[in-house]
Amino acid sequence: MNVLVTGSLGQLGSEILALSGRDGNKRYYFYDLPELDITDKKAVEHVCGNHDIDAIVNCAAYTAVDNAEDNSVSAYRVNRDGAAVLAEVAKDRDALLVHISTDYVFDGKAYKPYREHDPVSPLGVYGKSKWEGEELVRQIAPSYMIIRTSWLYSSYGNNFARTMLRLGDERELLKVVFDQVGTPTLAADLAGAIMAILDRYDRGDAYAEVYHYSNEGICSWYDFAKAIMKIKNLKCKVLPVESKEYPTKARRPHYSVLHKGKIRQEWGLDIPHWYDSLEKMLAGC
Protein backbone atom coordinates (compact mmCIF):
# COMPACT_ATOMS: atom_id res chain seq x y z
CA MET A 1 0.00 0.00 0.00
CA ASN A 2 1.27 3.46 -0.91
CA VAL A 3 0.55 6.23 1.60
CA LEU A 4 0.90 9.99 1.08
CA VAL A 5 1.56 12.02 4.25
CA THR A 6 0.87 15.75 3.79
CA GLY A 7 2.21 18.44 6.11
CA SER A 8 5.08 16.07 6.78
CA LEU A 9 7.39 18.65 8.37
CA GLY A 10 4.94 19.35 11.20
CA GLN A 11 4.78 17.55 14.54
CA LEU A 12 2.58 14.64 13.51
CA GLY A 13 4.05 14.24 10.04
CA SER A 14 7.56 14.15 11.50
CA GLU A 15 6.56 11.40 13.93
CA ILE A 16 5.04 9.29 11.15
CA LEU A 17 8.27 9.77 9.20
CA ALA A 18 10.31 8.69 12.25
CA LEU A 19 8.23 5.50 12.64
CA SER A 20 7.88 4.66 8.95
CA GLY A 21 11.34 3.10 8.70
CA ARG A 22 10.06 0.18 10.78
CA ASP A 23 7.01 -0.38 8.60
CA GLY A 24 7.81 -2.95 5.94
CA ASN A 25 4.27 -3.40 4.58
CA LYS A 26 3.64 0.09 3.32
CA ARG A 27 5.51 2.64 1.32
CA TYR A 28 5.18 6.16 2.70
CA TYR A 29 5.65 9.35 0.70
CA PHE A 30 6.19 12.56 2.67
CA TYR A 31 5.35 16.00 1.34
CA ASP A 32 5.03 19.50 2.78
CA LEU A 33 5.23 23.07 1.53
CA PRO A 34 6.70 24.19 -0.80
CA GLU A 35 6.83 20.85 -2.70
CA LEU A 36 3.15 20.12 -2.14
CA ASP A 37 0.47 22.64 -1.25
CA ILE A 38 -2.71 20.71 -0.39
CA THR A 39 -4.85 23.50 -1.83
CA ASP A 40 -3.32 22.92 -5.28
CA LYS A 41 -5.45 20.15 -6.77
CA LYS A 42 -3.30 19.60 -9.85
CA ALA A 43 -0.19 19.21 -7.67
CA VAL A 44 -1.96 16.76 -5.34
CA GLU A 45 -3.22 14.76 -8.33
CA HIS A 46 0.27 14.72 -9.80
CA VAL A 47 1.92 13.45 -6.59
CA CYS A 48 -0.80 10.84 -6.02
CA GLY A 49 -0.57 9.66 -9.62
CA ASN A 50 3.22 9.46 -9.55
CA HIS A 51 3.25 7.28 -6.44
CA ASP A 52 0.05 5.35 -7.12
CA ILE A 53 -1.32 6.46 -3.74
CA ASP A 54 -3.89 4.25 -1.96
CA ALA A 55 -4.27 6.30 1.24
CA ILE A 56 -3.67 9.92 2.21
CA VAL A 57 -2.90 10.95 5.80
CA ASN A 58 -3.56 14.67 6.03
CA CYS A 59 -1.34 16.22 8.71
CA ALA A 60 -1.22 19.59 6.90
CA ALA A 61 -3.05 22.39 8.64
CA TYR A 62 -3.05 26.02 9.62
CA THR A 63 -2.53 25.48 13.36
CA ALA A 64 -1.77 28.98 14.71
CA VAL A 65 -4.93 29.29 16.80
CA ASP A 66 -4.54 32.97 17.75
CA ASN A 67 -3.18 34.15 14.40
CA ALA A 68 -6.14 32.50 12.68
CA GLU A 69 -8.43 35.15 14.20
CA ASP A 70 -6.74 37.82 12.03
CA ASN A 71 -5.81 35.52 9.13
CA SER A 72 -9.07 33.70 8.60
CA VAL A 73 -8.59 33.57 4.83
CA SER A 74 -5.39 31.55 5.24
CA ALA A 75 -6.90 29.32 7.93
CA TYR A 76 -9.96 28.48 5.80
CA ARG A 77 -7.82 28.04 2.70
CA VAL A 78 -5.76 25.28 4.30
CA ASN A 79 -8.12 23.76 6.87
CA ARG A 80 -11.30 23.77 4.79
CA ASP A 81 -10.36 24.13 1.12
CA GLY A 82 -7.22 21.98 1.40
CA ALA A 83 -9.21 19.22 3.09
CA ALA A 84 -11.75 19.37 0.24
CA VAL A 85 -9.02 19.06 -2.40
CA LEU A 86 -7.62 15.95 -0.70
CA ALA A 87 -11.14 14.49 -0.44
CA GLU A 88 -11.72 15.08 -4.17
CA VAL A 89 -8.44 13.46 -5.15
CA ALA A 90 -9.10 10.54 -2.76
CA LYS A 91 -12.51 10.11 -4.40
CA ASP A 92 -11.08 10.11 -7.94
CA ARG A 93 -8.47 7.53 -6.93
CA ASP A 94 -10.73 5.43 -4.72
CA ALA A 95 -8.24 6.05 -1.91
CA LEU A 96 -8.76 6.27 1.85
CA LEU A 97 -8.44 9.75 3.41
CA VAL A 98 -7.28 9.88 7.03
CA HIS A 99 -7.94 13.48 8.04
CA ILE A 100 -6.75 14.92 11.35
CA SER A 101 -9.01 17.33 13.21
CA THR A 102 -9.23 18.90 16.62
CA ASP A 103 -10.91 19.10 20.03
CA TYR A 104 -11.41 22.82 19.26
CA VAL A 105 -14.53 21.94 17.25
CA PHE A 106 -16.19 21.80 20.71
CA ASP A 107 -17.03 24.79 22.89
CA GLY A 108 -15.89 23.18 26.14
CA LYS A 109 -19.18 23.46 28.01
CA ALA A 110 -19.37 19.70 28.58
CA TYR A 111 -18.63 18.07 31.91
CA LYS A 112 -17.78 14.59 30.60
CA PRO A 113 -15.51 13.45 27.77
CA TYR A 114 -16.74 14.39 24.29
CA ARG A 115 -17.93 11.58 22.07
CA GLU A 116 -17.69 11.65 18.30
CA HIS A 117 -21.38 12.42 17.73
CA ASP A 118 -21.64 15.21 20.34
CA PRO A 119 -22.74 18.54 18.86
CA VAL A 120 -19.93 20.88 17.87
CA SER A 121 -19.75 24.61 18.45
CA PRO A 122 -16.26 25.94 17.75
CA LEU A 123 -15.25 29.12 19.58
CA GLY A 124 -12.79 30.57 17.06
CA VAL A 125 -11.68 30.69 13.44
CA TYR A 126 -9.27 27.76 13.79
CA GLY A 127 -11.97 25.45 15.20
CA LYS A 128 -14.55 26.65 12.66
CA SER A 129 -12.20 26.17 9.73
CA LYS A 130 -11.29 22.66 10.93
CA TRP A 131 -14.99 21.80 11.37
CA GLU A 132 -15.83 22.99 7.86
CA GLY A 133 -12.92 20.91 6.56
CA GLU A 134 -14.38 17.88 8.33
CA GLU A 135 -17.79 18.55 6.79
CA LEU A 136 -16.35 18.63 3.27
CA VAL A 137 -14.38 15.43 3.87
CA ARG A 138 -17.63 13.75 4.96
CA GLN A 139 -19.49 15.06 1.90
CA ILE A 140 -16.86 14.32 -0.73
CA ALA A 141 -14.63 11.38 0.26
CA PRO A 142 -16.23 7.96 -0.25
CA SER A 143 -13.83 6.43 2.29
CA TYR A 144 -12.53 8.49 5.19
CA MET A 145 -11.49 8.44 8.81
CA ILE A 146 -11.54 11.77 10.63
CA ILE A 147 -9.40 11.59 13.77
CA ARG A 148 -9.85 14.44 16.24
CA THR A 149 -6.99 14.92 18.64
CA SER A 150 -6.03 17.41 21.36
CA TRP A 151 -3.04 19.28 22.82
CA LEU A 152 -0.52 17.74 20.44
CA TYR A 153 3.14 17.97 21.45
CA SER A 154 6.40 16.36 20.40
CA SER A 155 10.12 16.92 20.28
CA TYR A 156 9.57 18.65 16.91
CA GLY A 157 8.26 22.16 16.21
CA ASN A 158 6.58 24.64 18.53
CA ASN A 159 4.40 23.28 21.27
CA PHE A 160 3.52 23.87 24.91
CA ALA A 161 5.89 21.21 26.29
CA ARG A 162 8.91 22.59 24.47
CA THR A 163 8.02 26.16 25.46
CA MET A 164 7.71 25.12 29.12
CA LEU A 165 11.07 23.34 28.95
CA ARG A 166 12.74 26.48 27.62
CA LEU A 167 11.01 28.90 29.99
CA GLY A 168 11.49 26.54 32.92
CA ASP A 169 15.22 26.83 32.35
CA GLU A 170 15.20 30.61 31.93
CA ARG A 171 12.72 31.80 34.57
CA GLU A 172 12.07 31.43 38.27
CA LEU A 173 8.29 31.76 38.01
CA LEU A 174 5.67 30.89 35.40
CA LYS A 175 1.93 31.53 35.48
CA VAL A 176 -0.11 28.85 33.72
CA VAL A 177 -3.89 28.53 33.33
CA PHE A 178 -5.63 25.88 35.39
CA ASP A 179 -9.20 26.40 34.12
CA GLN A 180 -8.62 24.79 30.71
CA VAL A 181 -8.78 21.05 31.10
CA GLY A 182 -8.03 18.44 28.47
CA THR A 183 -5.54 15.74 27.59
CA PRO A 184 -2.09 16.18 26.08
CA THR A 185 -1.30 13.89 23.16
CA LEU A 186 2.22 12.81 22.31
CA ALA A 187 2.37 13.09 18.52
CA ALA A 188 4.41 9.87 18.37
CA ASP A 189 1.52 7.98 20.05
CA LEU A 190 -0.99 9.33 17.54
CA ALA A 191 1.40 8.52 14.68
CA GLY A 192 1.68 4.94 15.97
CA ALA A 193 -2.11 4.66 16.24
CA ILE A 194 -2.65 5.89 12.66
CA MET A 195 -0.05 3.46 11.36
CA ALA A 196 -1.59 0.58 13.32
CA ILE A 197 -4.99 1.40 11.81
CA LEU A 198 -3.51 1.49 8.31
CA ASP A 199 -1.98 -1.93 8.99
CA ARG A 200 -5.29 -3.43 10.01
CA TYR A 201 -7.85 -1.71 7.82
CA ASP A 202 -9.56 -3.65 5.08
CA ARG A 203 -8.85 -2.05 1.73
CA GLY A 204 -11.96 -3.62 0.25
CA ASP A 205 -14.23 -1.67 2.63
CA ALA A 206 -15.34 1.97 2.53
CA TYR A 207 -15.06 3.82 5.84
CA ALA A 208 -17.09 6.81 7.00
CA GLU A 209 -15.85 7.23 10.55
CA VAL A 210 -15.04 9.94 13.05
CA TYR A 211 -12.73 8.99 15.92
CA HIS A 212 -11.33 10.70 18.99
CA TYR A 213 -7.73 10.05 19.97
CA SER A 214 -5.65 11.64 22.71
CA ASN A 215 -3.56 10.14 25.47
CA GLU A 216 -5.48 8.83 28.48
CA GLY A 217 -6.13 10.87 31.61
CA ILE A 218 -7.10 14.47 32.22
CA CYS A 219 -5.15 17.54 33.31
CA SER A 220 -5.05 21.31 33.11
CA TRP A 221 -2.28 23.22 31.35
CA TYR A 222 -1.06 24.04 34.88
CA ASP A 223 -0.83 20.33 35.78
CA PHE A 224 0.95 19.67 32.49
CA ALA A 225 3.51 22.43 33.18
CA LYS A 226 4.04 21.18 36.76
CA ALA A 227 4.65 17.66 35.48
CA ILE A 228 7.26 18.94 33.00
CA MET A 229 9.13 20.82 35.76
CA LYS A 230 8.97 17.80 38.05
CA ILE A 231 10.14 15.23 35.51
CA LYS A 232 13.00 17.47 34.34
CA ASN A 233 13.85 18.55 37.88
CA LEU A 234 13.56 22.24 36.95
CA LYS A 235 13.43 24.68 39.84
CA CYS A 236 10.98 27.09 38.17
CA LYS A 237 7.86 27.66 40.28
CA VAL A 238 4.53 27.27 38.45
CA LEU A 239 1.55 29.34 39.62
CA PRO A 240 -2.05 28.47 38.62
CA VAL A 241 -3.96 31.37 37.05
CA GLU A 242 -7.38 31.77 35.46
CA SER A 243 -7.70 32.22 31.69
CA LYS A 244 -8.98 35.76 32.23
CA GLU A 245 -5.56 36.64 33.68
CA TYR A 246 -3.92 35.38 30.49
CA PRO A 247 -6.03 36.81 27.65
CA THR A 248 -5.49 35.35 24.18
CA LYS A 249 -6.86 36.48 20.83
CA ALA A 250 -8.81 33.25 20.33
CA ARG A 251 -11.16 31.85 22.95
CA ARG A 252 -10.38 28.30 23.96
CA PRO A 253 -12.66 25.58 25.37
CA HIS A 254 -12.49 25.22 29.15
CA TYR A 255 -13.02 21.48 28.85
CA SER A 256 -12.00 19.46 25.81
CA VAL A 257 -11.40 15.93 27.05
CA LEU A 258 -12.08 13.42 24.26
CA HIS A 259 -13.73 10.02 24.79
CA LYS A 260 -11.46 7.41 23.22
CA GLY A 261 -13.65 4.32 23.61
CA LYS A 262 -14.57 4.01 19.94
CA ILE A 263 -11.07 4.07 18.44
CA ARG A 264 -9.71 1.92 21.27
CA GLN A 265 -12.32 -0.78 20.80
CA GLU A 266 -12.60 -0.81 17.01
CA TRP A 267 -8.86 -0.94 16.41
CA GLY A 268 -7.64 -2.66 19.58
CA LEU A 269 -5.40 0.27 20.51
CA ASP A 270 -3.53 0.44 23.79
CA ILE A 271 -3.51 4.17 24.57
CA PRO A 272 -0.84 5.39 27.02
CA HIS A 273 -1.56 7.78 29.90
CA TRP A 274 -0.43 11.36 29.22
CA TYR A 275 2.03 11.35 32.13
CA ASP A 276 3.78 8.18 30.93
CA SER A 277 4.07 9.58 27.40
CA LEU A 278 5.40 12.89 28.72
CA GLU A 279 8.09 11.02 30.68
CA LYS A 280 8.98 9.10 27.53
CA MET A 281 9.25 12.28 25.44
CA LEU A 282 11.25 14.17 28.07
CA ALA A 283 13.69 11.29 28.49
CA GLY A 284 14.94 12.20 25.01
CA CYS A 285 15.31 15.96 25.71
Ligand X SMILES: NC(=O)c1ccc[n+]([C@@H]2O[C@H](COP(=O)([O-])OP(=O)(O)OC[C@H]3O[C@@H](n4cnc5c(N)ncnc54)[C@H](OP(=O)(O)O)[C@@H]3O)[C@@H](O)[C@H]2O)c1
Nearer to ligand X, 110 or 204 (CB): 110
Site for ligand X in 225-284 (CB under 6 A): none
9 binding ligand X? (CB under 6 A): yes
State which residue, 167 or 205, has the beta carbon closest to ligand X.
Answer: 167
Which window, 4-12, 21-29, 41-49, 170-178, contacts ligand X (CB under 6 A)? 4-12
Residue number, 12 or 235, with CB nearest to ligand X: 12
Among 11, 20, 180, 256, indicate the residue that binds ligand X (CB under 6 A).
Answer: 11
Task: Mention every residue, 6+ apart, whose C-beta is less than 8 A from residue 204.
Answer: none
Cβ proximity to ligand X, 42 vs 235, nearer residue:
42
Q: Could you say whether residue 6 binds ligand X (CB under 6 A)?
A: yes
Between helices 274-283 and 221-231, what is the axis angle to 10°?
A: 40
User: How many other β-carbons are positioned within 10 Å of the β-carbon of residue 209?
Assistant: 15
Asked if 63 touches ligand X (CB under 6 A), the answer is: yes
Find all residues with CB under 8 Å of 206, minimum gap 6, and list them: 142, 143
CB atoms near residue 204 (< 10 Å):
5
28, 126, 144, 275: which is the annotated catalytic residue?
A: 126
Quick check: helix, strand or coil at residue 177? strand
Select from 4, 12, 167, 181 the one that contacts ligand X (CB under 6 A): 12
Which one among 3, 20, 30, 37 touches ligand X, defined by CB under 6 A? 37
> What are the DSSP calls for 218-277, one per residue?
-EEHHHHHHHHHHHTT---EEEEE-GGGS--SS---SB-PBP-HHHHHHHT--PPBHHHH
Tell me the residue number closest to ligand X, measured at CB.
Answer: 10
Residues 6+ apart with CB under 8 A from 67: 249
Note if 126 is an active site residue: yes
Contact flags string 94-123 toward ligand X, x per CB under 6 A: ------x-xx--------------------
Render 53-93 in DSSP notation, one character per residue: -SEEEE------TTHHHH-HHHHHIIIIIIHHHHHHHHHHH
Enumerate binding residues for ligand X (CB under 6 A).
6-7, 9-12, 32-33, 36-39, 59-63, 78, 82, 100, 102-103, 130, 149-152, 157
Residues annotated as catalytic are 126
